[in-house]
Structure formats: structure tokens, C-alpha cells
Structure 1
Amino acid sequence: MSAILSSPPIFFTLQVQELKDWVKTQPQVHVDESPWLVRGVKEWMWVISSEKYSLFHAGDTRSRAELEYLLGQSFSGVLSSDDFSVYNGYPVVAQQKCLAHLRRHFQQVTRLKQPHQKALGEAFLSLIDEAFTQHRQWRETREASTYASWAESFKVRLKQAISTWSAKAGHVAGLLLKSLRDKSHQWWYFLDHPQVPPDNNRAERSLRLAVTKRKVAGGSRSWPGFRRSATLLSVIQSCRAQGRSVLDFLRRSLSLAVRSRSHELSLIPVFE
């Protein structure tokens, strides 16, 4: 794999560009980003993922500009992400913030020494765990009426919990409860739309290979090298998600490129 990651991506840039254009038209995407050193300077590796593809982007910022480069000035779909501020206010049909991140925040609350914080954190951890369990059951059974009935009950209990604990919340917990009130439609979008996962695991899993390469290689020695890594990671992770051989894809892309037939090969997934 290290040999692949050091080879020139000349022969499959067309397929990656085609994937980039296609991603902008999708109904739902997962987005994440991770630090990446280029000549010792912190840059950012971005990824857009869904069930059968991953598109990586070498970015020099962690700003809205990178998001707009990848998805446009606005996105006519659902954006799943963590709760990093760059995603706030970006024009989309809807957002789903990662519930796993919210769970970690409340775990930290349970460790605080102030009165009531442990109990507060545990109360919301219980609600979050319940939501994960119910969504997992929906994925297994696809029983829409059962899920919808639970979701309506859950919304009532969630609202009651926020009201009950707000007066006892310290500074950290208070900020979390405020976020749950102000951005309820982003934290809990999956309650009414279970086809959207409550977490951002798809993007985070896709980034793991990039993180491993960064740790092993220490980043990139040049911007062309950084961009090459992003292009290759797009091929590798998309092929893996589609159950395709990475080496076969690379060999075929080379074979087609030398015959000016690159258009015959694509990274765009086929959904049955």
C-alpha cells in the first residue's frame, strides 16, 4: 500500500474529478477533516464520504472556503458532520451533527466535580444511548411505525430533560444544553429521517487510512505530494467501499489512459 501511495496519480485524476462533480449532486454526505503536515506546516485533509465512496481533498485551511470548494456555495442535500463551527450556517437542506461527539461531551460532564454534573451527564448519556439503540433496531427491522412512535415519545422526554436539568447545569453542561435547544433540528434530524445515520462514522472511518499514512510518513514534503495523497486516498477508499480491487483499478486506469480511453472507467458507485 505504501508503494501505491507514493506513485503518481496521473492516470486516474479524471475519475477522481468525475467523482468530485458527482458528489455535489448527492442527497446526503458525511464530511470530516484531519490535520496534515506539509513541510512541517499544519494543513488539512478533508473527506466527503457516503456508503460507497470517499472523496479526499488537500486543503490549506479548516475554513468554510474548503467546504464550498467541495460542495459549492450551498448544498441541496443533508450534511452530516461533527459540531465544528465551520459547518454552522452553511446553506444546506438539513444537517445531522454527530451524536457520538455529543456523547463524548456528556461523558466529560460526568467527570466534573461540581454538584449535579455527574447525574446530569448520566441522564443525557442514557438518552443518547437509547437513541443509538433504537436507530440500530430500525436499521435491522425497517419498522417505520414503531420507530416513529418511539421518536415522538423520545422528543417529549428529551425536552423534559433539558427543562429539568437547565437550572442545575454548570458552565460546560449549560453550553451543551443550549446547543441542544438552539440546534435541536441538527442534533436530532435522524428522529424524523432515520435513513440519515445519527453519527458521522462513515467519514471518520474513511479518514483512518489518511491518519495512519500521516503518522507513518509524517505528512508530505510538498503540496504536490499532499494533493497526490488526497487523490490516491480517494481511489483506495472508494474502491474498498465498492468491493473493488485497488490494484486492478490502478492497472486498468493505466491501460485505458495510454489508449485515451480513461472515460471508460469510473469511481462513481453503482447502486442496486
Structure 2
Amino acid sequence: KNIQHQKIIVVCDRYSAYKSLAKQLDFIILAFCWAHVRRDFLDAGKKYPELEEWALCWVGKIGELYHINNLRCKEFDQKLPIQWQSSSFKKQHEKLVEKMDAIAEERDVFIEAHNPDDPDSDLLSNVKYKILTSLQNHWEGLSVFVDHPEVPMDNNNGERPIRNPVTGRKNFYGSGSLWSSQLAAIMFSIFQTMALCGLNCNHWLRSYLTACAENHGKAPDDLSPFLPWKMDEGRRHQLSRPPNTS
């Protein structure tokens, strides 16, 4: 119940399920990923060589946004609201707002001047129109990071840890059946938790399975030695190192 009185910012791509969730739960704010927008331009330039210069120009604009925001975030004090930040932060913040406004203006000028239903409209102009219209439609979510410097411009940090499971799911348990997908989800969750806590997954798993074997094939009665948030520092240090297999 308390969660509905808060605003939760979700950094995500433009997948429709996120949009549906935000419509149903008005306390969720979607912060769309700029890396996916950047990819739109790169894909267009790769598919249509005639658009390469145009696409790289837009990629450069996005790169400038990242650069200005990185400088701004270095000056950001998370304990203070934006209006109380330092003058160096405010200077970069103003530059960021100006750059966002300039991008929005250039986008809108093209959209207003182009009619995709015009029989004289060419393919390349329609490709530009589609990309810039998507940019316009998602602008509110793409602008969340401006007023919330603690929010990253993309969800790359969230996607990198799941890259191996996503790319490997067709080669190992996880896609073949319901039970295997459940097993994969559990194992990925466990291993990622251990990795985030700085533990060596191989050492942790060996230690846990050994304890199961010593308990006649059942989970240990006391799980605290295997839960990072309940381990003492000595245990945590021990399991952070590779196992001794000699």
C-alpha cells in the first residue's frame, strides 16, 4: 500500500509491456533508454548508406548529451535537490537543458515539414520521419534523467549482467521446458546475487553442495553461512576467493 504513495522510476527500453504497466500503475515513471534511440540512427545508417551522414550527425548529438550529463553528474550531490546544487552543477545543467531543447526543436521542424502520406515522399525521408516520430513520442520518458540526475541515461548497466543468460539460453537449460526455465531463473538469480555481493560463485556453490551432501542430500538446516547478508566478514572473505582444489 505504501508503495503507491511513492514515485518509482524504471529505466527501460520501449517494450510495450512497460508502457502498459505504467498506465495501470500511475506511480511508475518510465525513463526510456537513450542507447536504444542511438541504435535507431545507427541501424538506419547501416541499412541505408545514403543516410549514414545524417545518422552519424544525430549520433553525435546524442554523444554530446552523454558528455554534458557526465560532467553534470560529477558535480551532483545526491543529498540536495537540483535548486540547491552547486554553481558548477547548475552550469552543466543549463547546458544540458539547452541541448535537449535544440534536439527537440530540430526533430519537430522535420516532422512538421514532412508528410509521410504524400505520394511524392521518398523512402529515405520516411525512414527519417519514423525515427524522429519515435523520438518525439518517447520524449517524456527520455527526459526523465534531466530532472533526476541520479537516473542513468540508459539501461546498459542492467542489460550487461543478463547478457550471458540471454545469449546462452538456447544452448543450455532455460528455454526447453517450463521446469528448465524455472531452474534457469532461480540459478541466474542466485549467481547474480552472489556476484553482486562480491562472492566467488564457484566457491560458494561447491561449499553449498558439500554441505548438502553432508546433510544426506538435503539443504542445510542453517542457511545463514550461505546468505551474504548473514555471513560474518571472515566467511565473506573466504568465499570471495577461488576454491582450493589442490
TM interval, short-chain normalised: 0.5 to 0.7
**2:8 corresponds to:** 77
Equivalent position of 1:136 in the other structure? 70
Q: Is residue 101 from structure 1 mapped to residue 74 from structure 2 by the alignment?
A: no
Alpha-carbon distance, 1:194 to partner: 1.8
Aligned to 1:146: 91
Correspondence for 1:260: 221
Query: Relative CO higher for 1 or 2, CA cutoff 8 Å, sep ≥ 6?
Result: 1
User: Which residue of structure 2 aligns with residue 122 of structure 1?
Assistant: 56
Equivalent residue for 1:162? 107
Q: Which has a greater percent of helix?
A: 2
User: 1:219 & 1:231 partners in 2: Cα distance?
Assistant: 10
- Mark the CA change 1:223 to 1:93 in structure 2 (over 3 Å): closer, same or farther: closer
1:22 maps to what in 2? none
What is the Cα-based RMSD across aligned positions, in Å?
3.4
Length-normalised TM-score, structure 1? 0.60
Q: Does structure 2 retain, via aligned residues, the 8 Å contact 1:106–1:124?
A: yes
Paired-residue identity, %:
22
Rounded Cα–Cα distance in structure 1 between residues aligned with 2:14 and 2:45: 20
State the shift of 1:229 in Å: 0.9
Structure 1 residues without counterparts, runs of 5 or longer: 1-24, 26-72
Q: Against the structure 1 CA distance between its residues 222 and 156, is the aligned structure 2 distance closer, same or farther, given a 3 Å change threshold?
A: closer
The CA deviation string for residues 163-195 of structure 1, in whole angstroms up to 9 with x for no partner, is 333225722321222222232111121122121
Mapping of residues 196-207 of structure 1, within 5 Å: 196-207=151-162
CA distance in 2, matches of 1:199, 1:261: 40
Q: CA deviation at 1:105?
A: 0.5
Which structure features the higher share of strand residues?
Answer: 1
Verify the 8 A CA contact 1:235 1:267 in the aligned structure 2: no
In our comparison, the structure showing a higher alpha carbon Rg is: 2
Give the AA of the match of 2:223: S
Number of equivalenced pairs: 197
Q: Which runs of 5+ in 2 are unaligned?
A: 77-87, 115-123, 213-217, 231-246
Matched, 1:90 2:21: yes
Asked whether the equivalents of residues 38 and 59 of structure 2 are also in contact (C-alpha less than 8 Å), the reply is yes
Instruction: Please give the secondary structure, in 2, of the residue aligned with 1:243.
Output: coil
Tell me which residue corresponds to 1:225. 180
User: What is the alpha-carbon distance in structure 1 between the residues aligned to residue 206 and residue 41 of structure 2?
Assistant: 48
